[in-house]
Chains A and B, each alone.
Chain A
Amino acid sequence: MATADDRSMHTPDGTSHANAAAGPTRARRIAVPAITVAVLLVAWEIVVRAGMVPNFLLPSPTQVVAALVGDSALLASHAGTTLVESALGLVIGVAVGFVAAVLMDRFETIYLALDPLITISQTIPTVAIAPLLVLWFGYGLAPKVILIVLTTFFPVAVSLASGFRSTDPDMIDLMRTMGASDLQIFLQVKLPGSLEQFFSGLRISATYAIVGAVISEWLGGFSGLGVYMTRVRKSFAYDRMFAVIILISVLSLALMRLVDLLERVSMPWKQEEGK
């Protein structure tokens, strides 16, 4: 049957609108920030080489790269420890956050009980609680993983709980007219409908995981990027200090990209919505 559906999809100038809304091209999106970073690095190099800042206080970018390459084997071994702690903490943190969000959605009493507690827990500075965890659990893996769990469960729990609560009540009514159980409503509607919020939370948690691991390593441990950082700071090796900072940034970015990739794979319909 010929309906107006197809007619309503086209506008005479639809293409020009689409181009205007598309924004900068991909090449431009990559080139502009790349050039900005390159200019800043060159300026930094010039400032250090010209002696405007004493070299023992600020190493030049080339010195940092040299330190990164020179210490690569040692950095890789420390990074391995940090990544294991981060991954373990993140997985447990996400699991705890997920369970908390589900319970808060299912039982209003639990929501009312946990909501303020979760918010309050995030006002406690990580650096303040880390020494306590070391005191209670020693210098091993446990205090580091616990600290990461404490920092990573929050974004996931809050974003998921908000996703669950924002489910369209009409959708829930419709499911009930189909005879759906609470579990079916959760699995078919609430959970897929909250995936976008979940990944927003997970992206934040992923960055917290690496930073949380490094902070906990500052306060005690035998291996990890935080331990390495403390050692090079004490020996005033600022080129290595910058090298490890760059490595931490790269690891955090890589983890965020991994979350983006996971999001794209898990939500194929979002690709179509953008077209």
Chain B
Amino acid sequence: MATDSLNNMPGNDVPPILEARHLTLSWDGGAHVVVRDISLEVGESEVVCLVGKSGCGKTTILHALSGLTAPIEGQVLLRGADISGRPGKVSYMLQKDLLIPSKRIIDNVCLPLVIKGAPRKDAREIAAPLFERFDLAGTEQKWPSQLSGGMRQRAAFLRTYLQGNEVALLDEPFSALDAITRVDLRSWYCDMARDLGLASVVITHDVDEAVSMADRIYVLSGTPRAGVPTTVAGVVNVRREQAMAQAGVDDFALTPSYVACKRQVLELLG
């Protein structure tokens, strides 16, 4: 079977780009521990999914990885450098596209460049050629309200990409979309992220989404509100290419490995 056994750590010899070491996180400065002793690794161009039930602290972990909040214990390392509590080193994309209604799409996606001090004209020149690649050609001068949900999310992804970081954190990025758009967009995202060499950490509570997208799935378990801090229940490595080659199909969802991965994740979730 192409899927690794439970609690396997990634069998990747390449050093990770982003690494969380023994993170313990709290909502209120230490009194209430939400996440205890979590470690995870993200390699180059990898898609890593964090799966857990609602309220288990997935967004809290992403906030810590982004530097928006500092862990009470542990470290977040980007290529070995400690970035704990220092935002701006990794990109972040949320469930809501958060496009600014008062800015045209071109200016929305240019925002990270403008924030870094690029003149508006230069920023537009950098962003404009990417519109076609992101399936956004012709939307440059439109307002966000003129775009469909899927297009808005692609624009948000282009903005995330233009932050120029090696790692993107995605907080349930497709959950606000309708089912068909969601499936289309997540396969589009995986292809684009690999093309661009962007490593991703995606949080989701949709097991199918995690198995479809991820190279590795960290299954989280715990109920912080009931006083049980969240920990990593297990890690599932997804060997998509090998599974498709073995099964002789070009859709991972049709392989026995897909079902096995899904079962493992569900078992770990309890």
Contacts and interface: CB of A to CB of B under 8 A. Distances in A.
Interface of A: 1, 3-9, 168, 170-171, 173-180, 184, 188-189, 192-193, 195, 267-269, 272-273
Interface stretch (B110-118, B205-213, B258-266): B110-118
Contact of A177 (B67, B135, B144): B67
Given A177-B67, A267-B102, 8 more contacts: A1-B184, A3-B181, A174-B98, A178-B88, A179-B116, A192-B100, A269-B144, A273-B143
Main secondary structure of the interface of A (DSSP, over half): helix
Given A174-B98, A193-B102, A1 B88 contact: no
B172 to A, nearest CB: 12
Nearest to A268: B143
A4 B150 contact: yes
B233 interface: no
Contact of B68 (A5, A8, A176, A273): A176
Contact of A7 (B135, B145, B180): B180
Interface in B82-111: 87-88, 90-92, 94, 96, 98, 100-103, 111
Contact of B111 (A178, A193, A272): A178
A192 B68 contact: no
A273 B145 contact: yes
B146 interface: yes
B188 interface: yes
A174 B92 contact: yes
Contact of A8 (B96, B148, B188): B148
Contact of B100 (A170, A184, A193): A193
Nearest to A4: B180
8 contacts: A3-B135, A168-B98, A174-B92, A177-B68, A177-B92, A179-B88, A193-B101, A269-B143
A238 B265 CA distance: 85
Contacts of B96: 168, 170
A268 B142 CA distance: 11
Given A3-B188, A177-B90, A177-B91, A8 B150 contact: yes
B94 A174 contact: yes
Given A170-B94, A269-B143, A272-B143, A8 B178 contact: yes
A3 B91 contact: no
A4 B150 CA distance: 8
B257 interface: no
Interface string B205-242: 00000000000000000000000000000000000000
Interface residues of B, number: 37
B102 A3 contact: no
Contact of A179 (B94, B101, B115, B143): B115
A178 B112 CA distance: 6
A8 B101 CA distance: 21
Interface in B115-160: 115-116, 135, 143-146, 148-151
Nearest to B179: A4
Contacts of B87: 176-177, 179
B163 interface: yes
Contacts of A193: 100-102
B17 interface: no
A180 to B, nearest CB: 5
B178 to A, nearest CB: 6
A174 B151 CA distance: 19
B185 interface: yes
B98 A3 contact: no
Contacts of B112: 178
Contacts of A192: 100-103
Contacts of A170: 94, 96, 98
Interface in B172-207: 178, 180-181, 184-185, 188
B24 interface: no
Contacts of B151: 5
Nearest to A170: B94
A273 B101 contact: yes
Given A3-B181, A6-B148, A8-B178, A180 B100 contact: no
B115 A180 contact: yes
A188 B94 contact: no
Nearest to A173: B68
A272 B145 CA distance: 7
A178 B163 contact: yes
Nearest to A6: B148
Given A1-B135, A176-B87, A177-B66, A8 B115 contact: no
